[in-house]
Chains A and B, each alone.
Chain A
Amino acid sequence: MNKLRGVARCGLPFPPPTKIIRFQRQGCTNRPFYHIIVADVKSDIHFPPIEQLGTHDPIANENNEKLTSLNYERIRYWLSQGATTSRPVQELLGLAGFFPIHPRSYMTAWRNRKLAEETSKIETTGTNEQEKE
């Protein structure tokens, strides 16, 4: 029966992971700041975590840097215990060079580039039209 259940998970890990490494929003209104934590998959987002593994500040500082701290040793430990990671954490660890880069990062980058191109095109054509008028 267990084997069958394993097959039914379509290549996903079995037994299904009970721990997850994810962000937990700290900060305050309009000022996000995240702890990177390990918690039970089903636990509430505000529950106290099992362990804190790092921090992530999504707002750039005065030197235009976004700061992240990661406790690689403990992250390795929890991964070895079969913990999964949430997608934002996967992306972050990908950028840090700890995981392979997440496909979503490439997609976002590509979309941003495309958007920037389009806006610059509109701006240039818009100004050209204005000049013609």
Chain B
Amino acid sequence: MKQMKSMRFGLLLASALATTPAFAQGDATPITIGVPVGLSGANSVVAPAVVQATELAVDQINAAGGILGRPVKIAVADDASGAAGAQTAYNTLVFQDDVDVVITMETSAARNAGIPIVEEGEKPFIYSSFYEGRSCSPNMFVNGWVPEQQVPPVVEKLLADGAKNFFLIGSDYAFGRGMLEFSRKYIEEKGGKIVGEEYLPMDGSDWTAILSNLRSAGADAVITSTAGGTPNVTLTKQLRASGISIPYANLAVDEGTAKAMGADAAGILISASYLTAIDTPENKDFMAALQKKFGAEMRTPNDLSTPQYEAVYLYKAAVEKAGSTKTEDVLAALPQVSFKGPRGEVSMSKQHHAPLTMYLGEVQADGSVKVVADFPNVDPGEQCPDL
């Protein structure tokens, strides 16, 4: 085991050295970033893009001389998209590989399983996934969006288009419920009315009864927040097959899925902190770099992989500000640093969460997403008042 590890390390180092002239003298032991991620299970569809984003960031950083003159390497472990797998993955990374930081996009259950382990092992942890909010740990920072940031753009748009009666459909899990609970509060605050709120288990695939209720409820807009992948697709397919054509906002669809659904997805409103169509030089460079590095293997970046890319840079900034990789110093520096990436300027300055620019998109008939509007610097709200 030990031998294998040093071999792996040697290879990484060799490749790092090959691409860069030389690292500064002094401490040249690599900084290791642990990435526990769902290579199998529910997240396995999006995980490859997340790993690519991490690899790109690390390559770029190494090419520019590393962090504090030290090379950076990655240790990936499968969390099987669940709690039990995450325990194994975090134990491996924190106690066996002794990583310097954990940066990853995961399911909420996997994140929750990991938090006690990073706390026990005293590592900094950047969670780069959007989620339902209010997960707090002194060791954890979040640079994805929370309901307070994602829901308002779509609701505002639907209200502006004249919708009054909203119907909410979700998968029965923490994210689905969290998003729709916030949506209900927000819509009612803004004078809209909720005419129905229904959930189907995550593995359910027959939406018939819910769709019948939707039809008879007299709704003039529907907002859905399902689990990614299968439930999202089955719901959209069956919604379209039953001939329902009221405005439809989907809080859980990513560009890739929208594209795969083809014509069924046309007209869906989505809200995200990242869309490939964002027209900034940072995003163009990011896309080009991905294309160059991975070629045909490139996975389309999305609202989960792009924050992961930026999180690596945020960690770099924090270490450089702190002047060390010591956990307490890095944790102290993390809320103070910022990085201008594909999504714009990001800083995890609000209770370990990040104010973000949000984009409202509309899926076109060919599956591409058009940016309809943007909302700069949306506040994440009161996530962790104790931090």
Q: Do A and B come from one complex?
A: no
